[in-house]
């Protein structure tokens, strides 16, 4: 069955999926934004596990428990160094590695935020293009993933992702 890509507006910590993706830094120190919401709602076990695993490489991705979240796991996508900025390459690598981790763990469903576009200051449109391109590339090979969600925090971000997806789909034809 083909994997479905979905676009939702909402709070990623509310998603009942196998794994939600954290917009992480290489230290795996959960700060504000998505990480802050995960820390608050997921409880202390997530940061405790991050402290044992981190630091990871720039562009890397690490799996921890989902703690008290509805999601069973969190995949921490390190698109930036603490205090640094997300680049196109580090974003692409972190998304690719996140999808690899999901496949390794045989996850069926995963939810991504717009990584890099908050504290890390990465442009939303370029983020959408890179993240959707990496998802489409991943889906060309065998994967356990049946549903990939992009969970955006406001209407503008949702619209950017949906329009970018349409453009990439029409280009693919």
Footprint on this chain of ligand APR (rule: CB under 6 A): 11-13, 23, 25, 29-37, 79-80, 82, 86, 113-120, 151, 153, 157
- We find the least distance from the C-beta atom of residue 84 to ligand APR, in angstroms, to be 9
**Nearer to ligand APR among residue 4 and residue 84 (C-beta):** 84
- We find the least distance from the C-beta atom of residue 157 to ligand APR, in angstroms, to be 6
- We find the least distance from the C-beta atom of residue 150 to ligand APR, in angstroms, to be 10
Cβ atoms of residues 15 and 110 within 8 Å:
no
Question: In the numeric block, which tokens belong to residue 96?
Answer: 């690719």
**Nearer to ligand APR among residue 95 and residue 157 (C-beta):** 157
Distance CA 123, CA 141 (A): 28
DSSP state of 77: E
- We find the least distance from the C-beta atom of residue 167 to ligand APR, in angstroms, to be 20
**Nearer to ligand APR among residue 132 and residue 151 (C-beta):** 151
Cβ atoms of residues 96 and 134 within 8 Å:
yes
- We find the least distance from the C-beta atom of residue 85 to ligand APR, in angstroms, to be 9
Which of 129, 140, 138, 137 shows the shortest CA–CA distance to 168? 129
Distance CA 158, CA 98 (A): 21
Cis peptide leading into 55, omega within 30 of 0?
Answer: yes
**Nearer to ligand APR among residue 128 and residue 145 (C-beta):** 128
**Nearer to ligand APR among residue 143 and residue 160 (C-beta):** 160
Helix (H) or strand (E) run with residue 4 in it: strand 4-9
Distance CA 163, CA 173 (A): 16
């Amino acid at each position: 069955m083909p994997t479905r890509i979905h676009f939702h507006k909402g709070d990623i910590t509310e998603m009942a999926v196998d794994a939600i993706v954290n917009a992480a830094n290489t230290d795996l120190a959960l700060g504000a934004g998505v990480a802050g919401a995960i820390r608050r709602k997921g409880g202390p076990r997530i940061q405790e596990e991050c402290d044992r695993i981190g630091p990871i490489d720039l562009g890397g991705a690490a799996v921890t428990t989902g703690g008290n979240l509805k999601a069973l796991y969190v995949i921490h996508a390190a698109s930036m160094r603490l205090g640094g900025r997300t680049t196109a390459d580090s974003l692409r690598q972190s998304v690719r590695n996140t999808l690899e981790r999901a496949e390794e763990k045989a996850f069926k469903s995963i939810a991504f935020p717009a990584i890099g576009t908050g504290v890390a200051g990465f442009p939303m449109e370029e983020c959408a293009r890179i993240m959707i391109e990496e998802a489409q590339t991943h889906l060309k090979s065998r994967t356990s993933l049946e549903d990939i969600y992009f969970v955006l925090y406001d209407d503008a971000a949702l619209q950017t992702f949906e329009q970018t997806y349409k453009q990439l789909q029409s280009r693919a034809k």
